[in-house]
Amino acid sequence: MARRGTSRNSGKTDLDARKATILEAVVAEHIDTAQPVGSSAVAQHADLGVSPATVRNEMVSLERGGYLAQPHTSAGRIPTDKGYRYFVDHLQSGELKAAQQYQLRDFFSGVRGEVEEVLERTSALLAQLSGYTSVIVGTTATHSTVLSVQLVNLERRHQLLVTVFSDGTVLKHSVVTTEDIEYATCLEASAQLNALLIGTTLESRVQVPSRSDSVSHLIAEAVSVLHAERPTREDEKVFIGGASKVAEVFDGVETVRQVLSILEEELLVVSLVEDMLDRGVSVAIGSEHGYAPLSSAAVVVAPVHVDGVAAGAVGLIGPTRMKYQEVMAAATAVSKNLARHFEGGASAD
């Protein structure tokens, strides 16, 4: 599975063809078995007509190059992060299994409902397809404009500001005042807020009239609450699917704990994924992303573009010895389907 001797020797760190084949065989085998891989296994399994002894020599060289490591003398080799990196970089992209393609199509042909619900269920699907924990980050396009604003009188001194954006997002914010607010005041403020904000984005500068009547106060307060939204970045929703897979695919209680605790911190997950997107990386192995507790994990992401605009990403988290080919296929497939869903379908993200 997934082998190809002919490697391009254009890149600078490229290995010669045979080393590459051997490295790839070791990685593939180790991903399969979770065991150190020995020279004879490689000699058999990779069909270069060469004896184990030769393979051993090459392996020594690969170890010197930092691609392989030995748990102890007289055990087989295990890929290092660098080894995995090479493997991934030289992986030709694969296809989803037919059964999974059907499943995907099925799912997306039948899915309906709110954005959040779709993403939630999609992340469950992706986890199930891939066998690993999935992450879907919905980047609320900061470009989306305000479609409607409304102040609702919850209690005398407590208004709820409900803002609807062009991408279908609804934000709510409490506006607490020191004085009782009349219903009429609230209505009036709503109307003015609408006039003021419709068509703007959260980043727009808005000129708030600074008169000192109660309506103006309310408006000023509402606008400031709404714009305070920015720094918290809380509008980036994260959907995690198959969290229980963590216990299956990672070894060691401590590792499981660490991965879970990362997943709990939504902000961390978001910035991890965004960092990768920014750097244009689709796979981060081991310590390649800077997140220490995830150093025994690999993260695969695929961006989601809706109508040509970055709208978020889907990701998968597993051990460094995860099934990259399948996982990447699943991620890109889901990302594409998701994009198509939101482009063609009733909702936008």
Partner DNA sequence: GACTGGCACTCGGTAGAATCGAGTGCCAAT
Partner DNA sequence: ATTGGCACTCGATTCTACCGAGTGCCAGTC
> Which positions lie near DNA, rule CB under 7 A?
35-41, 49-54, 56-57, 59-60, 63, 70-77
| Cβ 132 vs Cβ 249: under 8 Å | yes
Q: Tokens in use for 206? A: 């808005």
Q: Least distance to its own copies from the beta carbon of 117, Å?
A: 8
Which of its own copies, DNA, none has residue 157 at its interface (CB below 5 to 8 Å by kind)?
its own copies
For residue 233, the SS3 value is coil
CB 128 within 8 A of CB 134: no
Q: 119 by DSSP, 3-state: which?
A: helix
Min separation Cβ 64 and its own copies, Å: 36
Partner interacting with residue 40 (select from its own copies, DNA, none; CB below 5-8 Å by kind): DNA
- The partner in contact with residue 150, picked from DNA, its own copies, none with C-beta cut-offs of 5 to 8 angstroms by kind, is its own copies
CA 8 from centre of chain: 30
Q: Going by C-beta distance under 8 Å and a sequence separation of 6 or more, which residues neighbour residue 270? A: 137, 233, 236, 238
User: Which does residue 72 touch among DNA, its own copies, none (CB within 5 to 8 A, set by kind)?
Assistant: DNA
Q: Which does 131 bind (CB under 5 to 8 A by kind): its own copies, DNA, none?
A: none
Q: Return the beta strands (E) in 22-181 as ranges.
A: 68-69, 78-79, 133-138, 146-155, 158-165, 170-176
Least spacing, CB of residue 27 vs DNA, in Å: 14
Of 17 and 256, which CB lies nearer to its own copies in the complex structure?
256
Between 53 and 310, CB nearer to DNA: 53
Q: What span, in angstroms and rounded, lies between the C-alpha atoms of 236 and 231?
A: 11
By beta-carbon proximity to its own copies, the closer residue of 98 and 346 is: 346
Helices (H) and strands (E) in the chain, counts: 13, 10
For its own copies, which is the closer residue by CB, 121 or 336? 121
CB of 137 to its own copies, least distance (A): 17
Least Å distance, CB 256 to DNA, is 20
Q: How far apart are the first and last CA of the chain?
A: 37
Percent composition of the chain: helix, strand, coil (DSSP 3-state, to 5): 45, 20, 35
Residue 85 or residue 237: which is nearer to its own copies going by CB? 237
- Residues of this chain that interact with its own copies (CB under 8 A) are 113-114, 117, 124, 147-148, 150, 152-155, 157-158, 160, 162, 164, 166, 168, 170, 172-174, 176, 234, 241-244, 246-248, 253, 256-258, 260-261, 263-264, 346-348
CA distance 297 to 250: 8
Q: How many CA atoms lie within 13 A of 194 on its CB side?
A: 11
256 binds, among DNA, its own copies, none (CB under 5 to 8 A by kind): its own copies
- Rounded to whole angstroms, the Cα distance separating 269 from 325 reads 23
Q: How far is the CB of 329 from DNA (least distance, A)?
A: 29
Binding-site partner at residue 70 among its own copies, DNA, none, CB < 5 to 8 Å by type? DNA
Least distance from DNA to the Cβ atom of residue 274, Å: 39
Amino acid at the residue 6: T
* Pairing of β 297-306 and β 309-319: antiparallel
